[in-house]
Homo-oligomer: A and B are copies of this chain.
Amino acid sequence: MNRHQLPTGLPEYRFPVDPWRLVERVYSNDDLGLTETLFALGNGYIGMRANPEEGREAHSHGTYLNGFHETWPIMHAEDAFGFAKTGQTIVNVPDAKLMKLYIDDEPLLLASADLDSYERSVDFRNGVLTRDMIWRTPAGKRVRVSSQRMVSFQHRHLAVMTLEVTLLDAAAPVVISSQLLNRQDGEDEYHVRSAALGEGKDPRRARKFDHRVLQPRLQHERDNEIVLGYRCANSEMTLACGTRHRIETSCHAEIVTDVGVDLAKTVFTVRATPGDPIKITKLVSYHSSNGVPVQELADRCTRTLQRAETEGNDQLLLEQREWLDEFWTNADIELRGDHQAQQALRWNLFQLAQASARTQEQGIAAKGVTGGGYDGHYFWDTEVYVAPFLAYTMPEAARKIVRFRWKMLDAARQRAREMSQAGALYPWRTINGEEASAYYAAGTAQYHINAAVVLAMRRYLEASGDIEFMSHEGAEVLVETARLWVDLGFYSSNGSQTFHIHRVTGPDEYTTVVNDNFYTNVMARFNLRYAARTVRFLASWNPEAFAQLCRATDLDVGELDDWDAAADAMFVPTDEELGINPQDSEFLDLEPWDWETTPPEHYPLLLHYHPLVIYRHQVLKQADVVLAMYLRSERFPVEQKRRNFDYYDPITTGDSSLSACVQAVVAAEVGYEEVALEYFTRSLYLDLCDSHGNTADGVHVASAGGVWAGIVHGFAGMVEQGDHIEFSPRLPSAWEGVTFHLLRHGSRMRIDLDIDGLTLTVLTGSGVPLKHNDESLLVTVDEPYRILRD
């Protein structure tokens, strides 16, 4: 639906406003998928959906480890040469969240429980999911049940849970069955919503397997520790997961453990008396690997659990708080004048922390570690939407993200060969480095991912100044990606000697396999030039690294001229009459979409029209020309941005979750304050209001990154120019002010945005080079700098 046809206002925002927490005060079975995602915990490695301790009703009892996946042969209904062969799907690892409670042998079941009070919240300052309630049992006894859950930001392989039960009225036998349950190979996935989804054909959801994925390899039990070990049937990835329990109570308690291949239980039976709390602490560890034996992983689990036990719960909570304190110091955005937006903003930023804290050179999946959507695949969107946030707030995490792509370089070289090309071609979707996109038109054909990888590296370099990375890993990627573009495109023989790239798909997946996609050509041009310039710089700056690069990539210096020549000759679609950039060479020839006769329930279009019907029309999933205006902002005058925005915005459905945040940034830049705020608001609440209807499958992490960009690049108008930055403040008049921080080359700065402009204050470091009103200067800690609104 294009903007002007959207029903005004947002879907209902059903959470009490709180600046630092997401809170739920009424339990509901109606949107479990949504709340499992919104309250999910993760640290970039371990991810736990917010299923209650009792298990039972769920959209998906998901627990994920970044990169831990099963493979399967992609069976194409009609195969062809070079089609992706290896499907990759993130595995739902054994569920350690379960701590089932029985009082008088009656189970606590939230859906039917008689609750005197209920509150669940995730606190962005300490990363703890807390639930407190008073339950009136079927026998009429009141019981206080409090639980806490935390996935450690500090300890990659650790999660900690506590469950505290206090009888308020009368004594009763209390049983707590704490479990570790392999659900991947069970039957209870998606059992609430599956019927509602028709035949479950939404291609964006995770695959279900018909074979046993987790092959049991080890069951270990000693003292209060249990470890289960598995190996994936096809991918042969290995996994160990362990638990360690402690009970604190003055009541009499017995503990029995029962360990099977798919289920390990630690059952506490307590003769509880009123007023005497029973507190169970459950330490959980996961270790996974590509090739390490299961026994070794089990040993690691044991060590993680022992260390955690030694540290103790309080210390672990303290470290968690410290980690997040530092995160918020650099990444927080304070928004004055809209409390609800403030809450939503911090929720989005918290998601970025949860997706990226401990990836350790894995990528960031489209859903982070909060759900199985898109099979847990890595796409281009991390590089384009998340990497800039990381570069200016968590440079170490940014470095991991770009190194992750360097580690995939050999696989990308191999894929380029399969596609009859030189250099390297990054797969459109992947976990293990191999192309997993089964629909090439909206997959493999998105060659632009190569430029996204390079763009992320450049953002990282510019923010961090990590020239060492760029001299080694980065340079290799630059060389191989540039080679791909030069080989993929060709010089037209029609006399113009322009350079063309044909049969590719841009980010807008509502047209595919087109010629001279504007976004692709512009980004390829950037990639080529940046590669040539960087490699030339390296040759003079660090001859040794340059020599090493030449050896590693068999580089001939003449190639650099080829890259520049192709960039110089790059064809960029332009329509003089409309004054815009056509999305591709034939886009303007397409038939307009018939918006009038498209009923609201036909969005997203991809679920209601054959691809050929969509491709045949001027209708966009996301406006990639507008995206190019944002990513290569410094290259295009505002007037060109405005004209392109004016043309494409009305024909953009926003069916892609990557659309709204970009429209917001560019709308802000071209002076459409109201439109910018509307789009920003959409991206801000995209998950919190489930406006795309699939938050159940996991958080839209890239959109969360786009929310940050909406503030920093949109309303503060920050543009990175490599040797300096610039700001163009334009705070929406609906707000009172915004404050955020950036790290750049070791300097930490605070930006205070108000209605008249902004103040840049350098807090630490050697200063920030700035250009403003054609004046170049270095802003230092001594002197805050004021920039007035245009």
Contacts and interface: CB of A to CB of B under 8 A. Distances in A.
Contact of A502 (B418, B419, B504, B616): B616
Interface stretch (A78-86, A183-191, A538-546): A78-86
B502 A610 contact: no
A513 interface: yes
A83 B418 CA distance: 27
A87 interface: yes
Contacts of A418: 610
A331 to B, nearest CB: 35
Contacts of A420: 609-610, 613
A715 B659 CA distance: 60
Contact of A419 (B74, B201, B504, B613): B613
B82 A589 contact: no
A74 to B, nearest CB: 5
Contacts of A419: 610, 612-613
A204 to B, nearest CB: 10
Interface stretch (A435-443, A634-642, A774-782): A435-443
Contact of A77 (B87, B445, B590): B87
Contact of A586 (B81, B493, B585, B612): B585
A487 to B, nearest CB: 11
Contacts of A203: 78-80
Interface string A53-84: 00000000000000000000011111111111
Contact of A615 (B444, B513, B611): B513
Contacts of A243: none
Contacts of A438: 76-78
A156 interface: no
Given A74-B77, A77-B77, A612 B445 contact: yes
B585 A440 contact: no
B502 A591 contact: yes
Contacts of A615: 503, 513
A192 interface: no
Contacts of A201: 79
Given A585-B589, A589-B585, A81 B503 contact: no
Interface string A764-785: 0000000000000000000000
Interface in A551-594: 585-586, 589-592
Number of copies of chain A assembled together: 2
Contact of A75 (B75, B441, B494): B75
A608 interface: yes
Contact of A513 (B79, B513, B590): B513
Contacts of A74: 77
A439 B438 CA distance: 12
A607 interface: yes
A721 interface: no
B589 A440 contact: no
A218 interface: no
A250 interface: no
B616 A81 contact: no
Contacts of A592: 493
A504 B610 CA distance: 13
Nearest to A202: B79
Nearest to A515: B586
A203 to B, nearest CB: 5
A74 B79 CA distance: 13
B500 A589 contact: yes
A418 B78 CA distance: 20
Q: Which of A77, A445, A609 has the most CB of B within 10 A?
A: A77
A763 interface: no
Interface string A466-499: 0000000000000000000000001011100000
Contact of A80 (B83, B589, B610, B616): B610
B78 A502 contact: no
Contact of A610 (B81, B492, B500, B515): B81
A515 B589 contact: yes
A606 interface: yes
Given A78-B438, A203-B79, A438-B78, A502 B590 contact: yes
A498 B649 CA distance: 27
A502 B616 CA distance: 6
Given A75-B75, A585-B586, A591-B490, A80 B444 contact: no
A441 B76 CA distance: 14
A576 to B, nearest CB: 14
Contact of A606 (B76, B81, B437, B607): B81
A76 B79 contact: no
Interface string A664-685: 0000000000000000000000
Nearest to A588: B494
Given A502-B589, A591-B502, A612 B513 contact: yes
A80 B591 contact: no
Contacts of A79: 201, 203
A607 B81 contact: yes
B610 A440 contact: yes
A22 to B, nearest CB: 33
Contacts of A84: 77
Nearest to A77: B438
Interface in A411-454: 418-420, 437-441, 443-445
Nearest to A502: B616
Contacts of A87: 77
A441 B444 contact: no
Contacts of A590: 502, 515
A590 B76 CA distance: 28
Interface string A589-631: 1111000000000000011111111011000000000000000
Contact of A611 (B77, B80, B493, B607): B80
A727 B20 CA distance: 88
A500 to B, nearest CB: 7
B515 A77 contact: no
Contacts of A78: 203, 437-439, 443
Given A75-B75, A76-B77, A503-B616, A444 B610 contact: yes
A439 B515 contact: no
14 contacts: A75-B75, A75-B77, A77-B87, A78-B203, A78-B439, A79-B203, A80-B203, A80-B606, A81-B606, A419-B613, A420-B609, A445-B612, A500-B591, A503-B616
Interface of A: 74-84, 87, 201, 203, 418-420, 437-441, 443-445, 490, 492-494, 500, 502-504, 512-513, 515, 585-586, 589-592, 606-613, 615-616
Given A77-B438, A81-B608, 9 more contacts: A74-B77, A76-B438, A77-B87, A77-B439, A502-B591, A503-B615, A513-B612, A513-B615, A515-B589
Top 9 A-B residue pairs of the complex, sorted by shortest distance between their CB atoms: A82-B610, A77-B438, A78-B439, A78-B438, A490-B591, A503-B616, A420-B613, A74-B77, A502-B616
